[in-house]
Amino acid sequence: MTAVAPSIFTPNEAGFFTRYLARIQLREKLMGGTPKNPKLIEGWLRSKAGVTADEEVRMMMVRTLIELGAELDPGETDMAKITAASEAMAGVKQTNGFKRNGTSLYIEGRQVKAMLKESINALFAGEEKWGKTKKGPKNFAAEHVFIADERISLGTEEPSGVEFVIGHLTGPGGPRATVGYVEYVYQPILGFTVLCDPVAEGQVTDDHWRRIWLHAQENGLGAMRSQGHGRFNVIEWTRLS
- 171 pLDDT more than 80: no
CA distances from 55 to 42, 48, 81 (A): 11, 17, 16
Residue from 36, 27, 24 nearest 183 by CA: 36
Q: What is the mean pLDDT of residues 42-60?
A: 78
Residue from 91, 218, 220, 227 nearest 167 by CA: 227
pLDDT at 230: 96
CA distances from 9 to 15, 68, 148, 150 (A): 11, 32, 14, 17
**What is the pLDDT confidence band of residue 143, given thresholds at 50, 70 and 90?**
very high
Architecture of domain 14-33+98-239: 2-Layer Sandwich (3.30)
Give 1 or 10, the one with higher predicted confidence.
10
Q: How far apart are CA 202 and CA 21, in angstroms?
A: 18
- 91 pLDDT more than 60: no
At position 221, the amino acid (one-letter code) is L
Residue from 185, 187, 180, 186 nearest 90 by CA: 180
Whether pTM exceeds 0.95:
no
Q: What is the mean pLDDT of residues 116-133?
A: 90
pLDDT at 198: 92
Sign of CA pseudo-dihedral 127, 130, 133, 135: negative
pLDDT at 237: 98
pLDDT at 172: 75
| Domain limits, the chain | 14-33+98-239, 34-90
Give 227 or 218, the one with higher predicted confidence.
218
Q: How far apart are CA 109 and CA 148, in angstroms?
A: 7
Q: How far apart are CA 90 and CA 102, in angstroms?
A: 16
Give 211 or 82, the one with higher predicted confidence.
211
- 1 pLDDT more than 70: no
pLDDT at 4: 80
